[in-house]
């Protein structure tokens, strides 16, 4: 029996409510434990949603770990399955945003908190948590407000469309700047779980192109016409590529229709960890601005990105992709639904433009 004073409460593995992993797996115990991993600071990242934004926030772990190499990092989010927990640079405590975890976090004294969300619940929580340093956004007079001068640029680009349109910085540069860092090409951190692999009959002898055909029910201003997808599929298949269809439950009916009317393959929709493995089987992804775009970037896939309503400079593709936009100007900047009564700009994003971008990135198959 050990005395409570001998317990290493500053060990990264120690839980307190249940046995720690080294104790459970190797039957070791404080203070004579070779797995003792001391932490000297606590950092909390608040990035709740959207899932794609959670993924593209992961590069921030690099400078945080560089400045605080022995820190214990907590992350509060809705997208718990998308965060790295076993990489060289990873998150120690992934916490789902719920009442239980909010109560828990309020009793911890942090060294750094970074809140990247402007939602009311996020900024209100930021105000109520204890930390020596706070970066990002807080609540002031009932509205979201920059925590300090470092957050002003990101605050303004998200508050006024005309400032957002003129912005020359990508999202990752902005969130690095918000914390006092400089972005130097740090990549997304994404993990695959082979236990959730997808048994898909894909002809991997050919180059595999994944088509993510949807963009959610809210952002209909980004939708591409069905006959454009069919035309693109036929051109890719005729060129010798293996084409698979990607999407969630909302795209299931659409993807079944495409598969029935072309030679593209569709294997259904999957939980997120299985979906990651399916995307990883592709050599190139064609998608609109969606979570799948960020998954493709995180998996270092070639990427053709359809963009019509966002500032194209917002996206960091790491030299691995092409952004293709309609030939005719889109007048619905950052709008979920198109308000242009004259024309739909996505009608002027032609299959041949997407095809040419794909060939540029991946080469001709046959």
How confident is the model at residue 365, as a pLDDT? 62
- At 51-71, the pLDDT tens digits run 999 999 999 999 999 999 999
3-class secondary structure per residue, the chain = CCCHHHCCCCECCCCCCCCCHHHHHHCCECCECCCCCECCEEEEEECCCCHHHHHCCHHHHHHHHHHCCCEEEEEEECCHHHCCCCCCCCCCEEEECCHHHHHHHCCCEEEEEEECCCCHHHHHHHHHCEEEEEEEEEEECCEEEECCHHHHHHHHHCCCHHHHHHCCCCHHHHHHHHCCCCCCCCCCCCCCCHHHCCCCCCCCCCCEEEEECCCCCCCHHHCCCHHHHHHHHHHHHHCCCEEEEECCHHHHHHHHHHHHCCCCEECCCCCHHHHHHHHHCCCEEEEECCHHHHHHHHCCCEEEEECCCCCHHHCCCCCCEEEECCCCCCCCCCCCCCCCCCCCHHHHCCHHHHHHHHHHHHCCCC
**Torsion angle of alpha carbons 286, 291, 295, 296, nearest 10°?**
10
Can you say how many angstroms the Cα of residue 230 is from the centroid of all Cα atoms in its chain?
28
- Tell whether the model's pLDDT for residue 366 goes beyond 60: no
How confident is the model at residue 209, as a pLDDT? 98
Q: Which residue, 127, 114, 95, 110, is CA-closest to 176?
A: 114
Q: Find out whether 125 and 101 touch, Cβ atoms under 8 Å.
A: no
- At 15-64, the pLDDT tens digits run 999 999 999 999 999 998 999 999 999 999 999 988 999 999 999 999 99
Domains 40-178 and 198-362 share a fold: yes
- At 323-333, the pLDDT tens digits run 999 999 999 99
The CATH superfamily label for domain 198-362 reads Glycogen Phosphorylase B; (3.40.50.2000)
How confident is the model at residue 157, as a pLDDT? 95
How confident is the model at residue 220, as a pLDDT? 84
**Please, which pLDDT band fits residue 217 given cuts at 50, 70 and 90?**
confident
How confident is the model at residue 245, as a pLDDT? 98
How confident is the model at residue 219, as a pLDDT? 79
**Please, which pLDDT band fits residue 218 given cuts at 50, 70 and 90?**
confident
How confident is the model at residue 131, as a pLDDT? 98
The CATH superfamily label for domain 40-178 reads Glycogen Phosphorylase B; (3.40.50.2000)
**Please, which pLDDT band fits residue 215 given cuts at 50, 70 and 90?**
confident
- Cα separation, 331 vs 308, in Å, equals 9
Supply the pTM of this predicted model.
Answer: 0.95
| Number of Cβ within a 10 Å radius of residue 187 | 15
* Structural domain spans, the chain: 1-38, 40-178, 198-362
- Tell whether the model's pLDDT for residue 117 goes beyond 90: yes
Can you say how many angstroms the Cα of residue 229 is from the centroid of all Cα atoms in its chain?
25
């Amino acid at each position: 029996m050990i005395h409570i004073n001998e317990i290493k409460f500053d060990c990264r593995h120690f839980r307190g409510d249940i046995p720690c992993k080294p104790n459970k797996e190797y039957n070791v115990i404080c203070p004579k434990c070779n797995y003792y991993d001391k932490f000297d600071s606590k950092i909390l990242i608040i990035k709740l949603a959207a899932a794609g934004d959670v993924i593209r926030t992961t590069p921030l772990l690099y400078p945080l770990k560089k400045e605080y190499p022995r820190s214990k990092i907590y992350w509060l989010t809705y997208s718990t399955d998308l965060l790295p927990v076993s990489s060289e640079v990873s998150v120690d405590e992934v916490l789902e945003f719920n009442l239980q975890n909010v109560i828990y976090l309020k009793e911890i004294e942090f060294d750094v908190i970074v809140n990247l969300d402007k939602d009311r619940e996020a900024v209100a929580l930021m105000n109520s948590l204890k930390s020596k340093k706070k970066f990002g956004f807080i609540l002031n007079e009932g509205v979201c407000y920059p925590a300090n001068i470092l957050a002003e640029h990101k605050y303004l680009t998200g508050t006024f469309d005309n400032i957002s349109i003129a912005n020359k910085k990508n999202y990752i540069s902005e969130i690095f700047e918000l914390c006092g860092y400089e972005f130097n090409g740090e990549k997304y951190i994404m993990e695959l779980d082979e236990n959730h692999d997808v048994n898909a009959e894909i002809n991997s002898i050919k180059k595999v192109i994944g088509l993510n055909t949807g963009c959610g029910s809210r952002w209909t201003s980004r939708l591409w016409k069905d006959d454009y997808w069919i035309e693109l599929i036929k051109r890719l298949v005729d060129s010798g590529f293996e084409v698979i269809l990607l999407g969630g439950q909302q795209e299931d009916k659409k993807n079944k229709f495409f598969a029935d009317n072309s030679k593209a393959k569709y294997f259904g929709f999957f939980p997120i960890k299985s979906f990651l493995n399916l995307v990883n089987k592709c050599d190139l992804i064609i998608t609109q601005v969606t979570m799948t775009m960020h998954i493709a970037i995180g998996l270092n896939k070639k990427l053709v990105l359809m963009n019509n309503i966002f500032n194209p400079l917002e996206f960091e593709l790491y030299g691995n992709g092409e952004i293709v936009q309609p030939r005719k100007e889109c007048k619905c900047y950052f709008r979920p639904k198109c308000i242009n009564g004259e024309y739909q700009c996505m009608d002027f994003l032609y299959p041949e433009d997407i095809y040419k971008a794909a060939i540029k990135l991946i080469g001709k198959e046959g």
